[in-house]
A and B are shown apart, each in its own frame.
Chain A
């Protein structure tokens, strides 16, 4: 549905404009119009008690297509994103085939356009085949519109390769090298965070130092090259400290954290529930708290889902045979509201900033993240901050491996407007 939409009397939270006030928002022909413009023929939506914010932007999504369409497709993942209030997602490059060339990038973007539910900004691989050896054709992918490059799923193991990628990428304005920080040899075989619980459960552990040594290395290489580095899904308090210091030193670095690392800890693994098996692993409650504080003070810039769909039979397997990952697009906003906004750790404005405005800026997605001013493309989310709900299937995602299953959350997306079109209305995807 396009045409005119009038959102009446909602609380407009728009970090890019520094705005938080009750107001009407008028959408006309895909763009935001002046609120006192003509409303003739507009669909009027009562937004009393609801929050109107720029649509959410996910920097870290796995859509599995091409290759594992049984887990997710660009279309089903787009629908999950829209239901979760997102208007843009960045699918990671670890598909089959790998998105390490412009052809795959074009294909994924075309699938996204066909689905038409959110904007899809594919991430390109840093190295060919994610093998960590030869640089992929970064320039060609930049021409195809790629802004973020990552070998996510693993880090670039050779420091020299990362050095060259960070240096080479300086030729392209705004291009970001995003690292999955994990020392392969320290993490090898690790099923969960190494600590009290891994010992008690008899599961091989992955120490937090497996992440921290790579964070430290990557920050050093960013310093060496002056390159633009983004650190994916940080999990440990020590990593946060390293980033805090690097930012103080003026390095061009940003960082993200997932909702599940903000909500859960290794305490949740004591029943060997594979939905809590994620990578990097859930760490201790102290790490979780440090991550929350880092979102509050923007040491961690972005909350990104690391939405990782897996087939039921894969997740119902023995713990050490089950793949890591949880879906997250449909629960991210509520998780952040429940865990950090509700108790007052993070303001609502900062939450929207971390889920929309800042990731949009990193992604260079100028149609997203606000400000919600006349003339701008209408990408918005409308949510009820007070609504309580319990996470349970069915999901819009093709998979249901959610760490949040059975969890009661507060805050629910009511409407998502993508390019002026009501793609989610009353919590239901419109196609």
Chain B
């Protein structure tokens, strides 16, 4: 594995299998009474969140804590950043404090790569602008493999605002890498013009796609996109591309319904659809912790002083 995880392109198919396998063995830790192993004892993980994201931050925090790392949460409100400190100065400060890993979430694409210029530790991208969200992709791959037993040959539709979705990008690249067949579905205004280069299919007709799927992955559609004239109205969007109860009936019986959250119930997904038995949205959240444990463990080379413990954990 490379030192940083900035993009899903930083990992090979073999790396992905290793990450998912490691997550598999680490997930058991979360079921113990004492949910902790000493693999990263004495290491420091900084969560640097320039965008609010309770779910991702807590997931990383729990992951690091379950590996016994020291965790510092650095969010931009109420910190030096809200006083105008630059990314560079914040990075140099974290560097001076000896961060072994920095988990960064930022609204500006490329910020994680920029950060690597100033910190010596590993940088994990927890979502940057409209670029990538590799840990989300990995937890989604984990969830699919766990539920369906494989990734190769899976038929997956990613439905919604693909154009602005870092999740869709990372997940598409990851799925293609693992041999799955991906179809992007949405209004043409929200499909990236270069989608054919991703090695995926594109469809504007969700009804034609659903009957053949193993996974229907819904993306959040922000109401702001309507104001920017990507589609005429939220109502029309829901009619044409929303996952309604009627449309769920078109899915094969054992197909999964997934969503990276947070959901806009009634826009891209009907409220009761999200709560159906084949919806694995909550499992995605649970698996997120195991995946992030695996990544921290593998990137920080969890052998070191606690080699024996780490070996046991893996």
Which of A's residues lie within 8 Å of B, judged by CB?
A: 195-196, 199-204, 271-272, 313, 316-321
Contacts and interface: CB of A to CB of B under 8 A. Distances in A.
Interface of B: 86-88, 106, 108-111, 113-114, 128-132, 166, 169, 192-194, 197
A363 to B, nearest CB: 39
A201 B194 contact: no
Nearest to A205: B193
A267 to B, nearest CB: 15
B111 to A, nearest CB: 5
8 smallest CB-CB distances across A and B, nearest first, come from A202-B131, A272-B110, A318-B108, A202-B109, A199-B194, A202-B130, A320-B108, A319-B110
Contact of B114 (A195, A196, A319): A319
A203 B194 contact: no
A202 B110 contact: yes
Given A199-B192, A199-B193, A320 B86 contact: no
A268 to B, nearest CB: 14
Contacts of B88: 313, 316-317
B113 A202 contact: no
A318 B106 contact: yes
A403 B194 CA distance: 27
B86 A203 contact: no
A317 B109 contact: no
B169 A202 contact: yes
Nearest to B198: A199
12 contacts: A199-B192, A201-B131, A202-B110, A202-B128, A202-B129, A202-B131, A202-B166, A272-B113, A313-B88, A318-B108, A318-B114, A319-B111
Nearest to B87: A318
B98 to A, nearest CB: 22
Contacts of B131: 201-203
Contacts of B114: 272, 318-319
A201 B7 CA distance: 10
A414 B197 CA distance: 49
Contact of A203 (B109, B169, B193): B109
A317 B113 CA distance: 12
Contacts of B106: 318
A201 B166 CA distance: 10
A196 B192 CA distance: 10
A318 B194 contact: no
A316 B131 CA distance: 19
B311 to A, nearest CB: 37
Contact of A201 (B87, B109, B192): B109
A321 B111 CA distance: 11
Contacts of B166: 202
A196 B196 CA distance: 11
Contacts of A313: 86, 88
Given A199-B193, A201-B131, 11 more contacts: A201-B109, A202-B129, A202-B132, A271-B113, A272-B113, A313-B86, A317-B86, A318-B87, A318-B108, A318-B111, A320-B109
Contacts of A201: 109-110, 131
A100 B166 CA distance: 44
Given A202-B130, A202-B166, A272-B113, A319 B194 contact: no
Given A202-B166, A202-B169, A272-B114, A321 B192 contact: no
A204 B194 CA distance: 13
A7 B288 CA distance: 73
